[in-house]
Amino acid sequence: MIDLNAAVGRWPFVAGWAERADELAAAMAEAGVTQAHVSAAEAVLAPDPLAATQRVCDSLAGHERLVPAGVADPTLRTAEADLRRVVSNWPVRLVKVYPGFGGYSAEDDRVAAMVQAAGAEGVLTAVVMRLEDDRNQHRVMRVEPVGGDAVTSLAAKVAPLPLLVLNGLKGEVAGLARRAENLFFDIAFVESGASLPDLLQDVPAERLVFGSNAPLFYPQAAAAKLAGEEVGEAQRQAIAVGNIEGILEVVRAPERGTSR
Amino acid sequence: MIIDTHVHLDSPGPGVDQAELATLLRRADAVAIERLLLAGSVMQPGTHPSPEGVRAVNDQTMAAVRQEPDRLWGLCYVNPRHGQAAREEILRCVRDGPLCGIKLWVAARAGDEVVDVVAETAVELGVAVLQHAWDHTPGSPPDQSRSTDVAELAERFPDLPIQMAHMNGVGCRGLNEVAGFANVWVDTAGAQPLAGTLEYALERLGPGRIVFGSDYPVREFGVKLASVRAAVGDESVGRALLHDNALALWGKRGSTQA
């Protein structure tokens, strides 16, 4: 299983769990995740996410299961240069943007430019809709989830480049899937009595990828959504691995940076 | 054996939707949950249900329990604002019927004195209350109980066993609110599979006051079970959460009545 929605480090608004790379790697192994694309939790709130991303990239050395992922703030003048710097030094295939936490809209032209620049580097961009249950946020530090209209607008600007949407609720995922064909979605926030079978009634399996939102959520819980007889084996394989490999192939650049 | 202490039917009463019940039991079977505590189809009659609405919920729960006594326990849902009528409904369903406790949702805050008649009846019958709770919800129902309300109820009625719902809904601060009240248990239901809260609850309340609850069909059995197993390494603690505590809290009445 490949997890496209993971982070390492401290998120200050929750009790905290598996914050260190070794703890996260152990949890991923227990969940059956063979490869997790891991960004820096602290980069979400950092004034410049580059330094935090660099620290994460360094801290993952020795954990073969954990692959570094970037975090970008497209409104920074240096954003694209910083991304190229990260990509040239580490085997990053995924960069996340957090419009809600950055105070900008996903339909800001700078976000589309960032997605295009990332694509040129062979990097997939993910728009993170939220990090916590909207009802559970800190009493005075609340961040609105990213709006569906803005994501649809962004998807249109960057098409046919694929764009990943992380932490969407079931209704959001179903609505966005109908509105833009180049959008793909993880399953971390999708839940009902039969999470995936219910979602698959509205969204085809080829638009879904595995994502856990670890360490805020247990990766074992996301893995449990793929288990059970109500999910077909072909769908399970597609969501767990196949779709992710396909999407990354679309944005693959001819030459990659050196890994370390 | 696993006992899930927080499960709902979702179809309108008073009859049981047989397809819904069959699906519920099949999905429970798939993850080895043998016993389910039905808290009623509480969303059907709205947040402040009429006496008729309440009766339809309870007639449905009682029919389901009578149909599947080896798999189901059930709770009597009441609106505390009905006063003596709420007491009469509890007597009908618990003293004279097959239900093993009381469910309170968002018709009145647990800390409100209108709840006293329900609490007194529960103590009289020797049964527990499953109290919905959630903290800090923007736009939440005005009478939704917070952990502070549950603490007030627990303080006023120290002989009343209370299962405070939604550990992840009240969070660490909410767990703090009730930690000092030995008559309050918390269930694992609520929100996404947020990591760390159960570990915190184990530290604050100890393993004897936590019960497994999924909140199916809003949530998925397997997802909640995987979360609990990820959080709890110790086998005996796991057994306490998944079975023993629920049996102690609900089982005596459930087994004799069902």
Looking at residue B68, what is its pLDDT?
98
Q: How confident is the model at residue A135 (pLDDT cuts 50, 70, 90)?
A: confident
Chain A, 211 to 230: residues with Cβ < 8 Å from chain B are 213-225, 227-229
Looking at residue B233, what is its pLDDT?
86
Q: Which residues of B lie closer than 8 Å to A, measured between beta carbons?
A: 23, 27, 30-31, 134, 136-138, 140, 168-169, 171-172, 191-197, 199-200, 216-227, 229-231
Taking the CA of residue A120 and the nearest CA in chain B, the distance in Å comes to: 35
Q: How confident is the model at residue A257 (pLDDT cuts 50, 70, 90)?
A: very low
Question: Closest by alpha carbon to A53, among A17, A89, A105?
Answer: A89
pLDDT above 60 (res A184): yes
Residue A21 has a CB neighbour count (10 Å cut-off) of 20
Residue B221 has a CB neighbour count (10 Å cut-off) of 28
**Cα–Cα distance for residue pair A34/B101, rounded to 1 Å:** 45
Taking the CA of residue B121 and the nearest CA in chain A, the distance in Å comes to: 33
B-chain CB neighbours of A188 within 8 Å are 192
Taking the CA of residue B169 and the nearest CA in chain A, the distance in Å comes to: 7
Residue B172 is which amino acid? C
Of B169, B194, B226, the CB nearest to A224: B226
Beta-carbon pairs below 8 A across chains A and B: 106
Least trusted range by pLDDT, from A151-165, A196-210, A237-251: A237-251
B-chain CB neighbours of A134 within 8 Å are 138
- Mean pLDDT for A84-108 is 95
Looking at residue A260, what is its pLDDT?
38
Nearest residue on chain A to B173, alpha-carbon basis:
A15
Residue A228 is which amino acid? G
Q: How confident is the model at residue A259 (pLDDT cuts 50, 70, 90)?
A: very low
B-chain CB neighbours of A236 within 8 Å are none
CB contact under 8 A, A194 and B225: no
Of A214, A215, A224, the CB nearest to B223: A224
CB contact under 8 A, B220 and A194: yes
Q: How confident is the model at residue B254 (pLDDT cuts 50, 70, 90)?
A: low
B-chain CB neighbours of A229 within 8 Å are 30
A-chain CB neighbours of B148 within 8 Å are none
Chain A, 114 to 173: residues with Cβ < 8 Å from chain B are 132-137, 139, 142
pLDDT above 60 (res B258): no
A-chain CB neighbours of B137 within 8 Å are 135
What's the number of CA atoms in the CB half-sphere (13 Å) around residue A22? Answer: 1
Quick: pLDDT tens for B226-235.
999 999 988 9
Sign of CA dihedral A111, A113, A115, A117: negative
* CA separation, residue B95 to residues A65, A253, B99, B129 (Å): 57, 71, 8, 14
Interface test with A, best of B166, B194, B212, B214 (most A CBs within 10 A): B194
What is the enclosing helix (H) or strand (E) of A126?
Answer: strand A124-128
Looking at residue B256, what is its pLDDT?
52
Mean pLDDT of chain B, nearest integer: 96
Looking at residue B255, what is its pLDDT?
61
A-chain CB neighbours of B168 within 8 Å are 133, 136
CB contact under 8 A, B192 and A139: no
Nearest residue on chain A to B229, alpha-carbon basis:
A220
Q: How buried is residue A204: exposed, middle or buried, by Cβ count under 10 Å (0-12/13-18/19+)?
A: exposed
Looking at residue A254, what is its pLDDT?
47
In DSSP terms, B7 is beta-bridged to: B38, B216
Of A15, A27, A227, the CB nearest to B199: A15
The whole-angstrom distance between residue B198's C-alpha and the CA centroid of its chain comes to 17
Nearest residue on chain B to A225, alpha-carbon basis:
B223
Taking the CA of residue B199 and the nearest CA in chain A, the distance in Å comes to: 9
Tell me the whole-structure pTM to 2 decimals. Answer: 0.95
- Mean pLDDT for A223-247 is 94
**DSSP secondary structure code for residue A44 in this structure:** G
Nearest residue on chain A to B174, alpha-carbon basis:
A136
Residue with tokens 């074992």: A220
Looking at residue A258, what is its pLDDT?
40
- Mean pLDDT for A114-132 is 96
pLDDT above 90 (res B181): yes
Residue A190 touches chain B, beta carbons under 8 Å? no
Q: Name, in order, each residue with C-beta under 8 angstroms of A122's C-beta and a sequence gap of 6 or more.
A: A87, A93, A251, A252, A253, A254, A256
Nearest residue on chain A to B25, alpha-carbon basis:
A193
Dihedral pair phi/psi, residue A4, rounded to 5°: -95, 10
**Cα–Cα distance for residue pair A132/A165, rounded to 1 Å:** 15
CB contact under 8 A, B168 and A194: no
**Cα–Cα distance for residue pair A138/A12, rounded to 1 Å:** 10
**Cα–Cα distance for residue pair B163/B132, rounded to 1 Å:** 9
Of B27, B138, B223, the CB nearest to A221: B223
**CB A174, CB A165: distance < 8 Å:** no
Interface test with A, best of B11, B220, B228 (most A CBs within 10 A): B220
Taking the CA of residue B59 and the nearest CA in chain A, the distance in Å comes to: 23
